[in-house]
């Protein structure tokens, strides 16, 4: 068995690079009407997903995404040794209730909207460490449960500043195995909390861009790569505002990523028609775009190597109301065609 | 390098069993007055820990615990490749803000009060997988921030039923390394969500006992052991009520653990004098008792092998108010004298 290697300060190279052997995306109505609408596996016309409240709706999305990903991988739930899951809600209730029926050992994760990167990292490390033959990663967010959690009840009808992003209603699930599929996870760069002191919870892009820059820079240094060594460097949900900041921060660090940068929050909605301001966000944003767009592009060889960097803004209504800043975190995962 | 092995359905044996090379506990005034008072590393007479609010106090506890554990291990923060941390607050704010100054790559975890087991499991897997030379695990809870989060403002002065537990104000931190120290983590049994449909958030012991029973049973089956193969089987925070249920559930499964069972929630307070009803609970309960009592007993060889099983009750005020049950989860870690 090839050994895992520590690379530089905060990256690792996986000795037995795990393959993504099944993936699925489940989204709400608005996401289905966006540019990637036809690429999602399941688009619900009912944002309640048949449930009585938004939290249960989010749980149902997660369960459906995992079920569909298992189906795509041709793997049964009992074969999966570890499930890495998370969401944005307090105490991860979407995950706890969404995944309980699978009866798979569960590691609950919280990294705000970076959780998809965190879950994929740990699932991949688990496989390449010899702890499992199959592991799963799943994350979700729901516009309505997130607005209720972080901002205002929907019926209050608050105005949204142009820097605000729109929480994606969606869940993406991924089954990792030792062989099969056309995409593998080769390296991982785990992020630190990066705090530039930004206090504007309606401008998540600005809060997260410094964390994204930190992780991307460290990835390039640790692996001795240039931006052009990646076909795309793809952040989670910086949106239009955060993208500008990221590109500028990277220039200050000596790297021009403007030619290869892409952001899932920008991809998922139509800026002109969908009134989503700075773009999409949420644990479900990067996860569904990974499943619906990024993995297919890598699988068919259009992209050979991608640095996928979901980005999270670390705050709660309590920390925000107590005057705390909104630090960011970003977890990098290198995906390669195989 | 010895290879990691999958054992039975949901356990693993670590090829290079990591050592706990430094640990520390930081607690509040009430915990300092309890039976383990003198064994904690730091007892604060001020439950605000010099901060302006309870959440910041909890962050400060975490930072102090990690700092003290690093000191005990003789390791600098920059040598630690991964920090696994978590707490009970929505969006893990105690962890995000408590750990940001260490600038260590962070995996945020949520497993309710089982998080100490989750963090130790992943930190140990990370080391034995060859991903790090040093990794850290830290968890915390604070009576006041938890009451505010889950129940009532303290000034409301609500009555507490006898089945209720008392959230421990405390944080425990652990530094894992490849050698040094007298305790190592040899096996891990990761828990599933177990839901018996209990809906009483004032009786956490009853919610968590089925999950503890599930993990302990699976550990015994996977590793082909009997309860007597452990000097102690130690749950996190079942308390008096949960302990009775656990012993009875285990009897139904064919194992009598009554001679070896211990519960951190029972150990931490004096039932007669401290008016804490069913016992202590919280992410800080099992973590501080592990650091102050369990590790010293194993280190000096009084106990050769212990199954440590922090237990978590998965709920939020939202899930509870929406009529959801309170499922449990429990993560098992085998600790051995070396």
Query: Looking at residues B272-278, what average pLDDT do you find?
Result: 89
Across chain A, mean pLDDT equals 95
The mean-pLDDT minimum among A28-32, A133-137, A200-204 falls in A200-204
Q: Indicate if the pLDDT at residue B336 is higher than 80.
A: yes
Residue from A175, A143, A135 nearest A295 by CA = A175
- pLDDT exceeds cutoff 90 at A7: yes
Whole-angstrom distance, CA of residue A333 vs CA of residue A307:
6
Residues whose CB is less than 8 angstroms from the CB of residue B282 and which lie 6 or more positions away in sequence, other chains included: B88, B113, B141, B142, B143, B146, B167, B168, B170, B237
**Alpha-carbon distance B338 to B336, whole Å?**
6
Are B318 and A55 within 8 A, CB to CB? yes
Mean pLDDT of B192-216: 92
Q: Which residues pair with A19 in a beta bridge?
A: A177, A184
CB contact under 8 A, A195 and B315: no
Lookup: tokens for A22: 């099944």
Residue A325: CB atoms within 10 Å: 18
- Quick one: pLDDT at residue A48? 95
- Gap between the terminal Cα atoms of chain B: 19
Q: What's the burial of B268, exposed, middle or buried (CB within 10 Å: 0-12/13-18/19+)? A: buried
C-alpha–C-alpha distance, residues B102 and A48, integer Å: 41
pLDDT in tens, B217-226: 999 999 999 9
In this predicted structure, the answer to whether residue B154 has a pLDDT above a threshold of 80 is no
CB contact under 8 A, A314 and B96: yes
pLDDT (0 to 100) of residue B1: 66
Chain A residues 179-208 within an 8 A CB cutoff of chain B:
190-193, 195
Q: What is the mean pLDDT of residues B306-319?
A: 94
- Comparing C-alpha atoms, which of A11, A44, A15 is closest to residue A27? A44
Q: What pLDDT shows up at residue B320?
A: 87
Q: Calculate the average pLDDT of chain B.
A: 95
What Å distances lie between residue B206 and B164, B191, B239, CA to CA?
A: 10, 17, 9
Question: Is the CA virtual torsion B213, B232, A81, A235 positive or negative?
Answer: positive
* Chain B residue with the nearest C-alpha to that of A53: B322
Other beta carbons within 10 Å of A223: 18
Which chain A residues are within 8 Å of B193, Cβ to Cβ? 96, 99-100, 103, 106
Q: Report chain A's terminal Cα–Cα distance, integer Å.
A: 19
* Nearest Cβ partner for A125 among B105, B129, B315: B129
d(CA B91, CA B96): 9
Best CA proximity match to A65, nearest among A44, A38, A81: A44
| Residue B246, min C-alpha distance to chain A (Å) | 20
Rounded CA-CA distance A58/A78 in Å is 23
Left (φ > 0), alpha (ψ -120 to 50) or beta: where does A95 sit?
Answer: alpha
Tell me the pLDDT band of B277, cut-offs 50, 70 and 90: confident
pLDDT greater at residue B317 or residue A233: A233
- Interchain CB distance below 8 Å, B90 and A15: no
Distances (CA, A) of A202 to A150, A163, A310, A328, B121: 10, 6, 19, 14, 36
Partners of residue B186 on adjacent β-strands:
none
Give per-residue pLDDT as tens, B99-145: 999 999 999 999 999 999 999 999 999 999 999 999 999 999 999 99
Structure tokens at B42: 């730091």
Residue A56 has pLDDT above 80, yes or no: yes
The pLDDT, as a whole number, for residue A128 is 98
* Mean pLDDT for the stretch of residues B286-300: 98
CB contact B3 to A (< 8 Å):
yes
Q: Which of B285, B282, B280, B283 is nearest to B270 (CA)?
A: B280
In chain B, residues 97-126 whose CB comes closer than 8 Å to chain A: 97, 99-100, 103-112, 118, 121-122, 125-126
Please write the tens of the pLDDT for every residue from A15-50: 999 999 999 999 999 999 999 999 999 999 999 999
Q: Say if A316 is an interface residue toward chain B (CB within 8 Å).
A: yes
**Inter-chain contact B129–A132, Cβ cutoff 8 Å?**
no
Distance between B132 CA and the closest CA of chain A, angstroms:
7
User: Does position A290 have pLDDT exceeding 80, yes or no?
Assistant: yes
The C-alpha atoms of residue A230 and residue A219 are separated, in whole angstroms, by 11
So what's the ipTM on this one? 0.96
How many degrees, rounded to 5, is the angle at CA A198 between CA A192 and CA A200?
Answer: 125
Residue B117 and residue B294 in contact, taking contact as beta carbons nearer than 8 Å? no
- Mean pLDDT for the stretch of residues A255-275: 96
- At A275, is the pLDDT very low, low, confident or very high (cuts 50, 70, 90)? confident
Angle value at C-alpha A314, between A309 and A320, nearest 5 degrees: 150
Q: Give the number of other CB atoms < 10 A from CB of residue B196.
A: 16
Nearest to A243, CA basis, from A226, A221, A265: A265
pLDDT tens string B67-91: 999 999 999 999 999 999 999 999 9
How does residue A1 score in pLDDT terms, banded at 50, 70 and 90?
Answer: low
Note the pLDDT of residue A148.
84
């Amino acid at each position: 068995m090839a050994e895992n290697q520590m690379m530089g300060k905060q990256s690792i190279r996986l000795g037995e690079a795990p393959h993504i052997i099944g993936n699925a995306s489940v989204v709400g109505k608005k996401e289905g009407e966006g540019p990637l609408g036809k690429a999602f596996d399941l688009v619900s016309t009912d944002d309640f997903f048949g449930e009585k409240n938004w939290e249960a709706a989010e749980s149902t999305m997660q369960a459906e995404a995992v079920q569909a990903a298992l189906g795509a991988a041709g793997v049964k739930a009992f074969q999966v040794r570890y499930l890495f899951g998370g969401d944005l809600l307090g105490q991860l209730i979407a995950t706890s209730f969404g995944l309980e029926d699978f009866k798979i050992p569960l590691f609950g994760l919280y990294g705000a909207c970076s959780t998809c990167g965190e879950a994929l990292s740990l699932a991949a490390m688990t496989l390449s460490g010899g702890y499992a033959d199959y592991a799963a990663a799943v994350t979700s967010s729901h516009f309505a449960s997130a607005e209720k959690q972080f901002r205002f009840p929907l019926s209050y009808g608050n105005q949204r500043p142009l820097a605000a992003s729109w929480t994606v209603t969606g869940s993406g699930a991924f089954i990792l195995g030792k062989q099969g599929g056309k995409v593998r996870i080769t390296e991982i760069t785990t992020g630190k909390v990066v705090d530039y002191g930004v206090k504007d919870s309606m401008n998540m892009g600005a809060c997260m861009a410094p964390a994204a820059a930190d992780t991307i820079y460290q990835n390039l240094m640790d692996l001795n790569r240039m931006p052009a060594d990646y076909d795309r460097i793809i952040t989670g949900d910086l949106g239009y505002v955060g993208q500008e900041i990221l590109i500028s921060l990277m220039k200050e660090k000596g790297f021009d990523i403007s030619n290869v940068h892409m952001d899932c929050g920008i991809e998922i909605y139509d800026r002109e028609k969908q009134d989503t301001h700075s773009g999409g966000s949420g644990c479900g944003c990067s996860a569904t775009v990974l499943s619906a767009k990024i993995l297919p592009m890598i699988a068919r060889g259009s992209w050979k190597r991608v640095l996928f960097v979901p980005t999270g803004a670390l705050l709660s209504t309590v920390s925000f109301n107590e005057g705390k800043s909104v630090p960011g975190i970003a977890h990098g995962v290198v995906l390669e065609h195989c």
